[in-house]
Amino acid sequence: MKKIFVLIMILVITLFNIETHAYIAKKIDLKLNDNETSIVFLRLYHSNSLLIISDTSSHLFILDYRKDEGIKEVLNIFNTNPNIHFLQNKIDKKIDNIYTYKQKNLLKFRVNNYTLCIYKEVSDIKNCDFVYLMDLKEEFIMNENVSAIFYDEKIKDNLLAQVRESWIDNYIVSPKSFTILKINEESYNIAIIPSTKP
């Protein structure tokens, strides 16, 4: 089912008229139903963010930012004008249906009964449905069942041996694509849509 969803999304995107210098799609409609939320991993060349969109709200959580003019262009593609949150200021917050908090070295997002853990340094993974490996300095050791793992393309292959050998779904987060996690209270789907010209 997940693969069919990914193929349909890729087909829809390729049918758009391509006229931008940087991005394939002019617009991406996430087609959210009631009680659905999409988490878009926005890994651009000089920034790393999560765009969390529900049927009633839109929020951009800046995880890492140096300077990236591409964020405005990407937000136009998703046809959203989100509230922007820099997580360095305050991590423990409740915003609409999103809870952000830090537990040991993990930054956690709780949305629709799912927990997405952002992993930057050595830490035990506990109570996470999804894990995003933003950075690794040593091999990531699997010690809990999770539904899917997302990892930054810059992470060295030898640090991801256990991730790749496991049966867990794993996806690359890259500036060359939009990785979209769509969740509701009962299930989830993942789509990867190319963002740049080949």
**Angle at CA of residue 86, ends 120 and 30, nearest 5°:** 85
Per-residue tokens: 114: 């799912």
| Cα 164 from Cα 158, distance rounded (Å) | 10
pLDDT in tens, 88-101: 656 777 888 888 88
Nearest to 132 by CA among 144, 145, 115: 115
The pTM score is 0.80
Contact residues for 81 (Cβ-Cβ < 8 A; gap 6+): 58, 75
- Residue 198 has a pLDDT of 47
Is the CB of residue 98 less than 8 Å from the CB of residue 52? yes
- Residue 25 has a pLDDT of 58
Given a cut of 70, the residues of the chain with pLDDT beneath it are: 1-26, 68, 88-90, 121-123, 196-198
